Amino acid sequence: MADSVNLALDDEMMAQATGGITDTDPYGYVCEATVIKSLGTASDRTLYSVDADNGRTYQARWRYRSILNKGERVQLIHADDGTYELEPILD
């Protein structure tokens, strides 16, 4: 009976179970996001927590001198190295 209830875990389910983000987003533009808070600055980049329009929460780097405030909208980019970066939304 136990075999009949076994469930194969895919990447999405593992991410939800562990609270992490799997590397399943396509590289490049992912979607727009809303800034939740700053997580600190290192070198020339600030790390922010953002709520993305795809329903996920990400930690992403902002490489500009300006400071993002809670509620600001940005573009979420999946970089080639697997990290996430934020870009301004251009009109």
pLDDT band at 8 (very low <50, low <70, confident <90, very high): very low
Given a contact cutoff of 8 angstroms between Cβ atoms, the answer to whether 61 and 86 are in contact is yes
- pLDDT exceeds cutoff 90 at 16: no
Write the pLDDT tens digit of every residue in 32-90. Answer: 999 999 999 887 789 999 999 999 999 999 999 899 999 999 999 999 999 999 999 98
Q: What is the model's pTM?
A: 0.72
Given a contact cutoff of 8 angstroms between Cβ atoms, the answer to whether 58 and 84 are in contact is yes
- What the block records as the tokens of 6 is 């076994």
Dihedral sign (CA 79, 84, 85, 86): positive
Residue with tokens 């980049």: 45
Given a contact cutoff of 8 angstroms between Cβ atoms, the answer to whether 48 and 57 are in contact is no
Residue scoring higher pLDDT (19 or 49) = 49
